[in-house]
Amino acid sequence: MANFQCGNKHWQEFTSSFARCGSPEIKMTYRTADPDIKRDFHNATGCQIEKWPEDTWDALLTLWVIYNMKPSSRKKAFWINGIRDLLEACGEFGLEILEEVHREWRAKFKKGIAPYTVASPGSLVEVARAKAAEKRSGSHERGCGCETCRVKYTQGKYAEFIKH
């Protein structure tokens, strides 16, 4: 993530605030704390955020800042439904899930080619739902090698299937 360059000043503030702190409350304040963000969003996308339902504002700004996604005014209903599905998929974790999804998405780039296309909020629904489920279960990534997983697979009920 550190080597990703973007001209969006809100993205740069987001990444620097992310590096400084681990608290979701502090990380996500860039959307509400900056009085210029609505103006910058309008200048960059040509879209007035006030003309969208209020429950979609934070998601619109987050998708613009993190993914540089620009909403389509011609497909407004499609975007509103996609954003609401995305918010539902994120569940109790909120839009912070999208930060982790974006980090993993960027890490999987091969020679500048994305592992999957992110063209609208609907593109992220299943990935966000999976990330939220992973966080709820407290599971680790496959092959993470942490002490908990190592003990589970070398001494637990799966030990007979592992070559030691």
The pLDDT tens digits for 65-100 are: 888 899 988 899 999 999 999 999 999 888 889 999
In a domain, 150, yes or no: yes
pLDDT in tens, 31-57: 544 667 888 888 888 888 888 898 888
pLDDT of residue 137: 79
pLDDT of residue 127: 94
Structural domain count, the chain: 1
pLDDT of residue 80: 94
Q: What is the pTM of this model?
A: 0.66
**Domain range enclosing 38:** 9-161
Residue 71, number of CB atoms within 10 A of its CB: 25
Tokens of 106: 């960027």
Q: Position of tokens 């599905």? A: 85
In a domain, 1, yes or no: no
* Long-range residue pairs from 53-57, CB within 8 A, at least 24 positions apart, any chain: 53/80, 55/84, 55/87, 56/80, 56/83, 56/84
In a domain, 3, yes or no: no
